[in-house]
Chain A
Amino acid sequence: MARRYDSRTTIFSPEGRLYQIEYAMEAISHAGTVLGVLAKDGVVLAAEKKVTGKLLDLSSVKEGGYGGSGEKIFLLNRNVIAGVAGFSADANSLINYSRQSAQRHLFSYNEDIPVEQLVQRLCDLKQGYTQYGGAFIPLCVTSSLHMATGLRPFGVSLLYAGYDPHYQFQLYHSDPSGNYSGWKATCIGANNGTAQSLLKQEYKEDISVEDAIDLVIRVMSKTMDSTTLSSEKLEFATLKLDETTRQPVAKIYRPADVDALLAKQGIGKKDGDVEMK
């Protein structure tokens, strides 16, 4: 009965493992790559889009909405953006939860939520699904613990790029078990091992945003399956400080901006040119 310890998220196997969590992580390691690099004056995120195709209606994506949230990179709050790897449907619910958390903090304290606190909020939720199988959100003290047994954990890992006055720019990673950690440069999703060893080789302390963008694109072009990078497969975002107001500004690149950036870096496809340069 190999399935005896598989079916529920909240039960240890005799070897002391939580299979459902491991399966969730496995699922993520096949998802589109998300890469983040922390620079001294900003943070850079890039994500690979897997869902493409001729018949997919991209009309709304091409236009680029307000704030520019795409398929894989989202604005969580004025000072935090996140790239997700894993199940998009699960991710959407986490994104909504984190946006609400951030606004609730702003409402209570009149300040943008510190980045680590936002990550913690989300990890508390994710951890819940690995233990008692459901969200216990302590919003209402009088309600009894909601004991709906969750069927599976969130199949999502996230990279968070954020800024707060306490620790300036930060980059975090969280996984389905609710673990999180801070990074200078990291990668999740498909080929994350290759990407991470590349980052380890090439990352320099005191890297600038410009160099970080360059590094991210170089690593992405090596880890992605396709030979040509374009806005069809790639999402891109930066978080910097506004020069005059000293407030964080998140920029999620619109498809046209991504293509322009790739062209500038000499990696994008040119008209009628299918091969990578």
Chain B
Amino acid sequence: MECSFALTGKGYVLIAADMTSARSIVKMKHDEDKVKPLGPHLLMTYSGEPGDTVQFAEYVERNLRLYQIRNHSVLRPHSAASWIRRTLADSLRSRSPYSVNLLVGGYDVSEHEPHLYWIDYLGTMATVPFAAHGYGSYFALSLLDRYHNPSASLEEGIETLKRCIDEVQKRLIIGLGKFKVRVVDKDGVREIEI
């Protein structure tokens, strides 16, 4: 039932994920943060097999940090996403594959553009203007087809994101509780209350 959304706008990427942690039919937690900042201008949501998700997200986070320490430079969003994709693609054909779906959003400081990548547990990567994972994607993608505007201001972007969240809360048979929303733009990563 996990669900995450992301969309790009004029100079930013908005990323949201639900905050429930469930096991079978039981809601175990309602304040789980599934949006991880991976660098000064990079964000990632993760969902999938419990255990794999946190493990993989931290593996990525630490490796990108290591790259930054070793080379005194931060990987650009496209390079970071490509590396994450390769890691998942290699993992898929290993003895114990990670089962994690990701949305990676970042702001490229050298070309001043926001970037969003849809990545699934197979290592499939797509460069997209908006994206969703989980059951929410069946509702949200058609809404985003209708309302997404790549040059929308942050306020307009948040409005569109709210539409998606409201639709999921309305139509999905299980309410997902609160959503964690973060944005990444030229000033870096920050949280947004909605």
Residues of A within 8 A of B (CB): 107-111, 114, 116-117, 165-166
Contact = CB atoms under 8 A, between A and B. Distances in A.
A114 B78 CA distance: 15
Nearest to A246: B111
Given A108-B86, A165-B110, A166-B110, A114 B71 contact: yes
19 contacts: A107-B86, A108-B82, A108-B83, A108-B86, A109-B75, A109-B79, A109-B82, A109-B83, A110-B78, A110-B79, A110-B82, A111-B76, A111-B78, A114-B71, A116-B71, A117-B71, A165-B76, A165-B110, A165-B111
Nearest to B71: A117
Contact of A166 (B73, B83, B86): B73
Interface in B78-116: 78-79, 82-83, 86, 110-111
Given A110-B79, A165-B76, A165-B110, 11 more contacts: A107-B86, A108-B82, A108-B86, A109-B82, A110-B78, A111-B78, A111-B79, A114-B71, A114-B73, A116-B71, A165-B111
A110 B115 CA distance: 15
B59 to A, nearest CB: 15
A210 to B, nearest CB: 27
Nearest to A109: B79
Interface string B6-40: 00000000000000000000000000000000000
B113 to A, nearest CB: 13
Interface residues of B, number: 11
Contacts of B86: 107-108
Contacts of B79: 109-111
Interface of B: 71, 73, 75-76, 78-79, 82-83, 86, 110-111
Contacts, number: 24
Contacts of B78: 110-111
A107 B86 CA distance: 9
Contacts of B110: 165-166
Contacts of A110: 78-79, 82
A192 B79 CA distance: 39
Contacts of A109: 75, 79, 82-83
A244 B48 CA distance: 43
A117 B71 CA distance: 7
A2 B79 CA distance: 53
Contacts of A111: 76, 78-79, 82
Contacts of B111: 165
A210 B111 CA distance: 28
**Closest CB pairs A-B (n = 10):** A110-B82, A109-B79, A111-B79, A165-B110, A166-B73, A109-B83, A109-B82, A117-B71, A108-B83, A110-B79
Nearest to B74: A166
A235 B165 CA distance: 64
A270 to B, nearest CB: 47
Nearest to B81: A110
B88 to A, nearest CB: 13
